[in-house]
């Protein structure tokens, strides 16, 4: 069985403000959802159909991005897919998300002095 290629790039707008939390070991975790529209032809007309993609960012980069991202911010996310599986109250659940390696953004920012991208040099980890 080969390991395959696990690379994804999405572009869209945040549907709500991101949520920053910390793990028990203190690692920062930033989660947000990005709306990525899909164009579908229905009859003679094209329609935009929204797809909501969950994105997770870890470490110092998560903390830095939280200062700049807000609902409506346009982002381009590059990363890899990860599926989490768990069971709760006898029900099996799963979640497919993008673990971000790189996030660029514009518009909708919380501050005026917004960089286009937060680089690893800005996040020493």
pTM score above 0.95: no
Q: Which residue, 70, 65, 68, is CA-closest to 102?
A: 65
- Mean pLDDT rounded to a whole number for the chain: 88
- Residue ranges of domains in the chain, CATH in brackets: 8-108 (2.40.50.140)
What is the number of residues in the chain? 125
- Digit-coded pLDDT (tens) for 49-106: 999 999 999 999 999 999 999 999 999 999 999 999 999 999 999 999 999 999 999 8
- pLDDT surpasses 50 at 124: no
Q: Which residue, 6, 83, 80, 72, is CA-closest to 35?
A: 72
What's residue 4's pLDDT?
Answer: 86
């Amino acid at each position: 069985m080969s390991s395959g290629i696990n690379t994804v790039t999405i572009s869209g707008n945040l549907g709500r403000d991101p949520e920053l939390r910390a793990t028990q070991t203190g690692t920062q975790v930033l989660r947000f959802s990005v709306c990525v529209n899909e164009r579908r032809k229905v009859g003679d007309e094209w329609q935009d159909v929204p797809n909501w993609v969950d994105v997770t960012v870890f470490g110092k980069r998560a903390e830095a991005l939280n200062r700049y991202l807000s609902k409506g911010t346009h982002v381009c996310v590059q990363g890899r897919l990860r599926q989490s599986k768990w069971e709760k109250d006898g029900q099996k659940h799963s979640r497919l998300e993008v673990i971000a390696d790189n996030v660029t953004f514009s518009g909708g920012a919380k501050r005026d002095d917004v960089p286009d991208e937060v680089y690893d040099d800005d996040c020493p980890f």
